[in-house]
Chain A
Amino acid sequence: MATKTGSRAAPKKTVLVTGAAGSLAKRVIARLHGQYNVIAVDFRRKVETDAGIPSYLVELHKRGFEDIFASHKVDAVIHIGRIFAHEKTRQQRYNANVLGCKRLLDLCRKYKVGQVIIHSTYYVYGASAYNPALIDEDAPLKASEVTQDLVDSVELESLANIYLWKHPELNITILRPCNVLGPGVRNTMSILLSRSLVPVLIGFSPLMQFLHVDDMTDAMIAAFEQNKPGIYNVAPDDYVPYQEAVAQCGCRKLPVLSIPPSLPKLVASVLNWNAFFPPYLVNYFKYPVILDGRLFRETFSWRPRRNLNDIFTYYRKQKLSAS
C-alpha cells in the first residue's frame, strides 16, 4: 500500500495527472500538491499551475508525450483527460481516447510506473429499458449497443481491463463514476443543468445518481493512496429522477416528444444540442443506469460528504445570480 508521506528520508512520489485543465483534475492536483511531486498534462492548453508543478501541453498519442516520462521518474499516473463527443470527430476521439490510453499504458510499462488510475464513466453500461438497477462492476458493457459514439469509452475500458489483468505490476484501478457535478465541471450533465431551459423526454424521468466533484476528488485520492487495483463503480446510495433534478437545479423544462424513439434523437441533432443533450445520450435521459457503488465505498471506506441538495443548490444559485 502506498503511504501518505512516508518517512522523512523517503523521496516524494511523482504523480502525472492528465486532463489537467478540467475541474476534477485541477482539484486532484491541488490535493496532491505538497505531499507529492505533481506533473500536469493536458491536450487542450498548457495549464497554469502553482510553483513547482511542471505543466505540459501534449497529446497522449503524439510522440512528445514520451519525453515527459524520460525526463521525470513517474511513479503513478492518474488518467482523467478525455475528449468528449461534442469536442471532436469520432475518429479524432478514438485516436485520442483509445490509442492515447494504449500509448499511456505502454509508456507506463516501459518506464516502470507502479500505479495507474483510470477515470472511466457509467455511460459504458449503456442505458437500456432492460437494465436492472444497482448494476455492479461485472455487468456487461452495453454502451456500444446504444450508440457508436460511445464505442471509444467502451474500448478504452476494455483496453485498460486487458492491461489490468496482463500487467498486474501497473496496479491499474478503473473508476466508473456516476454523473459528476459541481463548480467548474464541463461535462454534458453539468452543462445541461447550468442552462435555464433543458430538454426532458415526455413521459420519461429516469432515476439518476449524482456526485459532487469534491467527493469524486476524494474518491480519486483514496483510490490513489490506498492502491487496491480493480474496477469500481463510484456512486452514492441516493437516487433522484432526472426531471426532479432538473426542477431542483432551477431549470425550466422543454418537453420533447419521446415517441417514436428516433424523434428525440432527430430533434437533438437538428437543433445541435451536442454539448448538453447529444443525440447519442438520449437514451440516458430515458432509461436509468443505476450503479451499485458498495464495492468502492466499502473497499476504500469512502462516503460522499455532499448530498443531492448541496449539489443542486450550486446550479440553483448560479441561475439566481445570473438573473
Chain B
Amino acid sequence: MFSLGSLDVKQRIAAKLVTADIEALVASIPKPVGSFGYDPWGYNEDTFKLALGAAKRLYDHYFRVTAHGLENIPSTGRVLIVGNHSGQLPMDGVLVGVAAATNPHGPRLARAMIERFFPTVPWLGNFLNALGGVIGDPVNCSKMLDMDEAIIVYPEGIRGSGKLYRKRYQLQRFGNGFMHLAMNHHAPIVPVGIVGCEETMPAVINLAPIARLLGLPYLPIVPSLLPLPARVYLNFGKPMHFSPAASEAEVTEQVETVKTELRRLMQIGLDERTSLY
C-alpha cells in the first residue's frame, strides 16, 4: 500500500517537473547509457530529468540566472568547465549544470565532482551519482575525458565553498590536478566566473572543531539554512587550450592564467549586477 501511494505521488511530481521541453532537451543530450538507462558511474536519465526539471525552476525563478558566453561550451567532445567555488552548499555546481544542460547552442550533461564522503551517506550517494555526480578521483576524470564527457571542476574545493563571506570573490588556493587532466587528455578548459552564489549563503563564522567532530568539511553559521534567493550571473569564457608543461612550476603558471581569466569573468558579473537579491 505504502509503495503504491508513494509511487503515485512520485509519478505526479514527475509529470509536473518533467515538461516536454525537459524531455526534448535530455533526449538531445549525446550521452550513451546501458540497457537500464545507467552509465558506469550511475548516471540515470530518468532521475536526471526529474532533477533538471526541479533545478530549472530554481534557475529561472529563484536565482534568476543570467548566463553569457554559453556558446563557449563545445556541444560535443571532452571539456573541463572550471569555476570559482562559493556558497557553502554546491548550488554553483547545480546552476552551471543546468546552464550546460539547457544550453541553446547544444545541451551537455556536465558532471560535477562530489565530496568523497557522500557515497557513504544512505540515498545521497546513489542520488548524486544518478544526477551525473562522481567522486573527484583522477581515475574517474581521466576515464570520463577519454569518453568525451564534460566535467565541472572547482579547483578550490572546500577551500572555496567553505570560505567566509568577508572573503567573497577572492580565489582561494587552486589545486593543479585539473590542469594535469586538461594537458594529458588534450581537453579544453572553459572558465566560468560565477557571481551571486556567495550571497546565497553568507557565512559569518566556521565552527571548525565541531565540524571535525562530525566528520564534515566545515560547519558555518549562516543566516538561513536554505540558500537565499540571490541573483546569479554566469560568465563563460572562451575555451583555453594548454600544451603539456615541462615542470610543476610551469603547470602552476598555467593555473595562474586560468585564475586571471576567472577574475576577469567574475568582475564582468560583479559589474553587471545591479541588485544582490
Query: Using an 8 Å CB-CB cutoff, how does the interface string of A215-252 with B read, 1 for contact, 0 for none?
Result: 00000000000000000000001111100100000000
Shortest C-beta distance, A161 to chain B (Å), equals 21
Pick 18 A–B contacts, CB within 8 A, sort by A.
A129-B119, A129-B125, A129-B135, A130-B119, A130-B135, A132-B137, A132-B143, A133-B42, A134-B40, A134-B139, A202-B122, A203-B126, A204-B126, A237-B34, A237-B40, A241-B36, A288-B42, A308-B35
The listed residue with most A CB atoms (<10 A of its CB), out of B123, B125, B137, is B125
A134 touches B137 (CB 8 A): no
CA distance in complex: A202, B122 (Å): 7
Question: B residues within 8 A CB of A296?
Answer: none
Residue-wise, chain B 23-40 has the 8 Å CB interface mask toward A (1 for contact) of 000000000001110111
Question: Would you call A187 an interface residue if the criterion is a C-beta within 8 Å of the partner chain's C-beta atoms?
Answer: no
Determine if B120 is an interface residue (Cβ-Cβ < 8 Å). yes
Q: Residues of B at under 8 Å CB distance from A?
A: 34-36, 38-42, 116-117, 119-126, 129, 134-135, 137, 139-140, 143
The yes or no answer to A309 lying at the interface (CB within 8 A) is yes
CB distance from B224 to the nearest CB of A (A): 27
- Residues of chain A contacted by B36 (CB below 8 angstroms): 238-241, 244, 308
Other than A133-B42, A290-B41, give 17 A-B pairs with Cβ distance below 8 A: A129-B117, A129-B119, A132-B137, A133-B143, A134-B40, A135-B139, A201-B122, A203-B121, A207-B41, A207-B42, A237-B34, A237-B40, A238-B35, A240-B35, A240-B38, A244-B36, A308-B36
Say yes or no: A132 contacts B135, CB within 8 Å. yes
Q: How far is the CB of B192 from chain A (nearest CB, A)?
A: 25
Bound CA–CA A204/B120 (angstroms): 9
Asked if A259 is an interface residue, CB under 8 A from chain B, the answer is yes
A134 CA / B123 CA spacing, docked (Å) = 22
Question: Which residues of A does B touch, CB under 8 Å?
Answer: 129-130, 132-135, 139, 201-207, 237-241, 244, 258-259, 261, 287-288, 290, 292, 307-309
CA distance A241 to B36 in the complex (A): 9
Q: Which residues of B contact A237 (CB under 8 A)?
A: 34, 40
Contact A132 B42 (CB under 8 A): no
B265 to chain A, nearest CB (A): 31
In the complex, A145 Cα to B129 Cα: how many Å?
Answer: 24
Residue of B nearest to A288 (CB): B42
Chain A residues with CB under 8 A of B116: 129-130
Residue of A nearest to B120 (CB): A129
Q: Flag if B137 contacts A130 (CB, 8 Å).
A: yes
B141's nearest neighbour on chain A, judged by CB, is: A132
